[in-house]
Chain A
Amino acid sequence: MTDTSALDKPESQAAAIWRQFRQHKGAVFGLCVLGFLIVFTLIGPLFWQAPELTTTQQILNKNKPPSWAHPMGTDQIGRDILERMMQAGRVSLAVGFAAMLIAIFVGTFIGVLAGYFKRLGGPLMRFTDMFLALPLIPLLLVMVMLFRDKIAGVVGPEMGAFILIVFAIGVTSWMHAARIVRGEVLALKEREYVLAARSIGTPPRRVILRHILPNVISPVMVAATLGIAEAIITESVLSFLGLGFPPDFPTWGRLLFDGLQYMQLYPERVTWPGLAISLTVLSVNYIGDGLRDALDPKARGR
């Protein structure tokens, strides 16, 4: 009993989570696919560059089928689709993750406040309902119209568009996360271990950080993975309406809409960006699933 050296050496939290994560085949597969997509978009352009062409050559080069010179063919003005896919992926993935992070952060923050503090609950949830009732696309359009030039003046047109889009998508998609989190917090705060923490004298902010947040992680994770997909698609909608990135600046959504007009003649133009978006969403979903299981000590034991 007194022999402390006989203790199991505790496995560190991170190691235990990683060990459980690897058990989840779908999650590992998702991680591989997402890793491939990230490598493809970040490092791909270093290895693959389309040959520089003059304008005349480029016009002659339009709508080519896949070949060794252009593995995915060329588009209607002779640009190499593989190269555009890589560049587009960077932006789309960045927008998706950044917007999701903003949405989850705001959503969780408001949800926890509304759920834990009775007095804030009413006003905050009405505020959430108000945001839910706003028509999203017109709101986004107004925001972009009003602020695009101002932000572009400070950080440049492309970075400006990026910040604006991420911000706009973030602040218009946190409501579902907030509602889910609030519901969960309302249930959790009546649990006896929260009461126990209060009887110990733990102040509310640490009760929230230590006892509430770790236990709302599963629904948040699900909301987050779905949020990425939604953000990528919303970005493409904005770009399609001409209010997102400049037209010559490729994103997966943009490529998809560009390809739409030629879908009957060249179906691969929509297939590739569509596939990339779907793969991202799917892999992120599986990763979220695996993470959720890995973070739950109950599931981890099995």
Chain B
Amino acid sequence: MRDSLSMPLVQVEDLKMHFPIYTGVFRRHTGNVKAVDGVSFTIQAGETLGLVGESGCGKSTVGRAILRLYEPTAGRVVIGGDDIATLDAETLRKKRPAMQMVFQDPQASLNPRMTLSAIISEPMVEHTAMTAEERQARVFELMDAVGLNRRFANRYPHEFSGGQRQRIGIARALALNPKFIVCDEPIAALDVSIQAQVVNLLEDLQDKFGLTYLFISHDLSMVRHIADRVAVMYLGRIAELSPRDALYDRPLHPYAEALLSAVNEPDPNRARRERIILKGDVPSPANPPKGCAFCTRCPKVMEICRVTRPELAEVQPGRFVACHLYTPAAGSTGATEVPEHYQQGETT
């Protein structure tokens, strides 16, 4: 464990993904949608990092840019020692087996004209020199691992239910024994009863094969169930990155606090935080606020928030927050009410 701590499996540094906007008759480049604007985190081997945030905050874009399904605008993505963001096409192709992806919509991520067995064996066709029999044997092995009946091997995706399709997608991702899997909202399109099955399957597989997950989701209770550490994203940046229990017990960033206050608690007797309702809308990622991305809606906004962009910094052991409430330099000039977090923020 010590060993892996020194060298994380996945290391993302200042990842930026800007999509250009072209307007007018001449399609001039007039701006950028800053879907991901400087995201950094690391994932240790065997760990699950949850990535949460509201719709449009750039979660999925992070997942896709890490696997270089998009060409990142800037930044480094080091997986297992290689910088994915700058590899040339052929080296990247050789590297693909180590990193795979499970997609959000199990219907759309399976080719309707291929049989289940053809879908699962596609990675093997691309990357190994296995014979057809060896591939078939491996397909059966994988189907057993994800809990699909072997008799389904020659059926087509439309003949399956949503949960079964997601299992097919997982089996395909597992085919080449990857180390790292990006789960891009793998449960968002499933029934609640199936969601638990799929998440438990992912956990079992993690134990069995020693996988590392980046688990992207907007379902906070599911993330609490599966993740070891959680990153909260807002408008293309990470607001807070903390161990799961610490984050859910006491979120530090005002946005994380508001987001987590929205989680429903099934037990009515349990004491609950008061629901924080944010006003206004998320600013456009094409034109984010100058300072902190959250300054337009933050209940604890200060003067400095509108001017300077807070950097992600470690405020407690293992807890990273991008907020001026916790940076020593920040004055209390704009704070109208004294937040409870003050004790950590003000050291001077």
Do residues B159 and A201 form an inter-chain contact, with CB atoms below 8 A?
no
Considering residues A197, A198, A200, A295, which has the most beta carbons from chain B within 10 angstroms of its beta carbon? A200
Do residues B158 and A199 form an inter-chain contact, with CB atoms below 8 A?
no
- Looking across the interface, which residue of chain B has its beta carbon closest to that of A194? B111
Considering residues A198, A199, A214, which has the most beta carbons from chain B within 10 angstroms of its beta carbon? A199
Known: A7-B151, A297-B156, A298-B158. A193 touches B108 (CB 8 A): yes
- Looking across the interface, which residue of chain B has its beta carbon closest to that of A195? B69
Known: A1-B149, A4-B140, A200-B123. A193 touches B156 (CB 8 A): no
Collect the chain A residues with CB atoms within 8 Å of residue B108's CB: 191-193
Collect the chain B residues with CB atoms within 8 Å of residue A215's CB: 111-113
- Among B93, B97, B140, the residue within 8 A (CB) of A203 is B93
Collect the chain B residues with CB atoms within 8 Å of residue A201's CB: 92-94, 96-97, 123, 126-127
Known: A10-B154, A301-B156, A301-B159. A199 touches B96 (CB 8 A): yes
- Is B150 interfacial (CB-CB < 8 Å)? yes
Do residues B103 and A200 form an inter-chain contact, with CB atoms below 8 A?
no
Whole-angstrom distance between the Cβ of B113 and the nearest chain A Cβ:
4
- Is B109 interfacial (CB-CB < 8 Å)? yes
A297 to B114, CA, bound (A): 9
- Among A8, A10, A193, A200, the residue within 8 A (CB) of B96 is A200
Do residues A193 and B97 form an inter-chain contact, with CB atoms below 8 A?
no
Do residues B113 and A214 form an inter-chain contact, with CB atoms below 8 A?
yes
CB proximity to A under 8 Å, residues B129-169: 140, 144, 149-151, 153-154, 156, 158-159, 169
A272 to B92, CA, bound (A): 63
- Looking across the interface, which residue of chain A has its beta carbon closest to that of B96? A201
A192 to B109, CA, bound (A): 4
Q: How big is chain B's contact interface, by range?
A: 35 or more
- Is A196 interfacial (CB-CB < 8 Å)? yes
- Is A130 interfacial (CB-CB < 8 Å)? no
A296 to B96, CA, bound (A): 31
- Is A202 interfacial (CB-CB < 8 Å)? yes
Do residues B69 and A199 form an inter-chain contact, with CB atoms below 8 A?
yes
- Is B110 interfacial (CB-CB < 8 Å)? yes
A258 to B106, CA, bound (A): 60
- Is B122 interfacial (CB-CB < 8 Å)? yes
Collect the chain A residues with CB atoms within 8 Å of residue B101's CB: 196, 199
Whole-angstrom distance between the Cβ of A17 and the nearest chain B Cβ:
12
Closest 10 CB pairs of A and B: A201-B96, A192-B109, A10-B154, A297-B156, A192-B108, A201-B93, A214-B113, A193-B111, A199-B101, A200-B123
Known contacts A195-B64, A196-B172, A200-B127, then 15 further A-B pairs from the complex at CB < 8 Å, ordered by chain A residue: A4-B140, A7-B153, A8-B151, A192-B103, A192-B105, A195-B69, A199-B101, A200-B96, A201-B97, A201-B123, A202-B126, A203-B93, A210-B114, A295-B113, A298-B158
What is the interface of chain A, defined by CB distance below 8 A to chain B? 1-2, 4, 6-8, 10-11, 191-193, 195-203, 206, 210-211, 214-215, 295-298, 301
